[in-house]
């Protein structure tokens, strides 16, 4: 799966669903654990985890949703969950999504 295209599709559908602003956060972690006993591999395990969250401004309130399952069926789930969370907020906390900077420093 191309995560950049997935994020773009999610953001497009979120805007179509009424989100004024929206952002996506994606994180993936991979790890390998290897145990040695007397110079021999005793055990090993590999793991991979991560997920994706959607945060957006809907009807003046900030909604949030998260999933670890990244497929096309998760897009409506993320959007509907973020909408539902925004709707049940009692008050507007004045949270905004950062617009970004005009310039970013370069790093080696």
The fraction of the chain above a pLDDT of 70, given in percent, is 94
pLDDT digits (tens, 9 = 90+) for 78-88: 999 999 999 99
Does residue 29 fall inside a structural domain? yes
Q: How many helices (DSSP H) and strands (DSSP E) are in the chain?
A: 2, 3
pLDDT digits (tens, 9 = 90+) for 27-67: 999 999 999 999 999 999 999 999 999 999 999 899 999 99
pLDDT > 80? residue 1: no
The count of structural domains within the chain is 1
- What CATH number is attached to the domain comprising 44? 3.30.2290.10
Does residue 38 fall inside a structural domain? yes
The pTM score is 0.73
User: Residue 50 carries which DSSP code?
Assistant: E
φ, ψ at 3 (rounded to 5°):
-65, -35
Q: How many CB atoms lie within 10 A of CB 70?
A: 19
Mean confidence (pLDDT) of the chain: 90
């Amino acid at each position: 799966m191309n995560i950049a295209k997935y994020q773009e599709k999610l953001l497009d559908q979120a805007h179509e669903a009424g989100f004024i602003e929206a952002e996506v956060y994606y994180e993936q972690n991979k790890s390998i654990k290897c145990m040695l006993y007397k110079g021999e591999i005793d055990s090993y395990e590999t793991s991979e985890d991560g997920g994706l969250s959607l945060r957006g401004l809907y009807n003046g309130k900030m909604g949030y949703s998260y999933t670890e399952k990244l497929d096309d069926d998760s897009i409506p789930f993320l959007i509907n969950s973020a909408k539902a969370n925004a709707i049940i907020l009692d008050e507007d906390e004045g949270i905004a999504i950062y617009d970004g900077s005009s310039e970013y420093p370069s790093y080696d």
